[in-house]
Structure 1
Amino acid sequence: MNDADFHATTHSPYHELLGIEVVEWSAGYVKLYCRLGPQHANRSGIAHGGVALSLLDQAGAFAGLYCAVPGHVRRGVTLDLDCRFTGQAAIGTLLTAEGHLVTAGRNVYFARSEVKGEDGQIIAYGASTHRYRAGSGDPNGVPR
């Protein structure tokens, strides 16, 4: 996948809002980055848990949506997301989220994801269930 196709396929207004970047993506796997800024802080001055939750959701979703066909895309919706917070992150930290596809059927797929700080410590982890949108259960996707 060339850079222009990669950007067009991974582009999301929500990612822009939060500062999430898709840095690696392949069948069954995705890696996301998010550099925490002042806009990500809660009232205590640390990263709001919603940022980690969003990263878990996006990593789980993208893990099952890779499409190698140029000009095509796969889309899905989250049905269920289970999250455990295990740490906290300071503003300025680069968070890394990784998602792994566990299994996929015709219409539904399951993923595991985790968010780590720069020191490699897990901030949050979870599991999610997603449903493919029309035509997206096919690994060849649908025209963008």
Structure 2
Amino acid sequence: MNKQKLAENVVDKMMADDAFSQWLGIEVIEIKPGYAKLEMKVRQEMTNGFNVCHGGVTFSLADSALAFASNSYGRVAVAMENNISFMKKVLPNDTLTAETEELSLGRRIGVYNISIKNQKNEQVALFRGTVFRTQEYHFKEDN
């Protein structure tokens, strides 16, 4: 299986089993090995007491992008450490796009930046994630 098809198959499998990303309404826009671009619309039930998007929702979108990008090579990768900086408030009905940048990929560790922008192309958050790449594979034929 070529690398692009593997990346697509892995993300299709992960998304099918990911009830939380489905609940968030995440749509996969683009997948390539080491790269994911996701989109979601902020719903009213995703807001906090200030009527802005709960930070955990934005974090979760970025976390899903990290998971899809880092697993796209076929090896199971799990988060070790994540952090996020919020730069601009997110409101109900905003459409968020999370786009990954693979900074480092080693045998055991991967590091990614995920930029989250709104529908006006304004950066609302920056997420950094580090993953541990296990020796497990998503599909038997990958190893």
Give the TM-score category using the shorter length: 0.7 to 0.9
> Equivalent residue of 1:134, what SS?
strand
Output the CA distance in 2 between the equivalents of 1:26 and 1:82: 23
**Offset, 1:60:** 2.2
| Residues 41 and 94, structure 2, Cα contact 8 Å, conserved in 1 | yes
Q: Report whether the alignment pairs 1:40 with 2:46.
A: yes
Q: Please, what is the CA RMSD of the aligned residues?
A: 2.2
> Equivalent residue of 1:133, what SS?
strand
**Offset, 1:59:** 1.7
1:51 to 57, 65, 69: 57
Listed one character per residue, the Cα deviations across residues 36-91 of structure 1 (whole Å, up to 9, x for unaligned) are 11121111111111111112222223222214xxxxx4322111112110001110
Which residue is 1:63 aligned to?
A: 69
TM-score if structure 1 supplies the norm length? 0.82
**Offset, 1:98:** 0.6
Which residue is 1:7 aligned to?
A: 12
**Offset, 1:9:** 4.4
Output the CA distance in 2 between the equivalents of 1:77 and 1:65: 8
Structure 1, unmatched stretches of 5+, are 68-72
> Equivalent residue of 2:72, what SS?
coil
Q: Alignment identity in percent?
A: 25
The amino acid that maps onto 1:129 is T
Structure 2, unmatched stretches of 5+, are none
| Residues 15 and 22, structure 2, Cα contact 8 Å, conserved in 1 | no
Output the CA distance in 1 between the equivalents of 2:140 and 2:89: 40
The aligned runs of 1:1-144 (5 Å cut-off) are 1=5, 5=9, 7-11=12-16, 12-67=18-73, 73-136=74-137, 142-143=139-140
Greater Cα shift, 58-67 or 25-34: 58-67
The amino acid that maps onto 1:64 is S
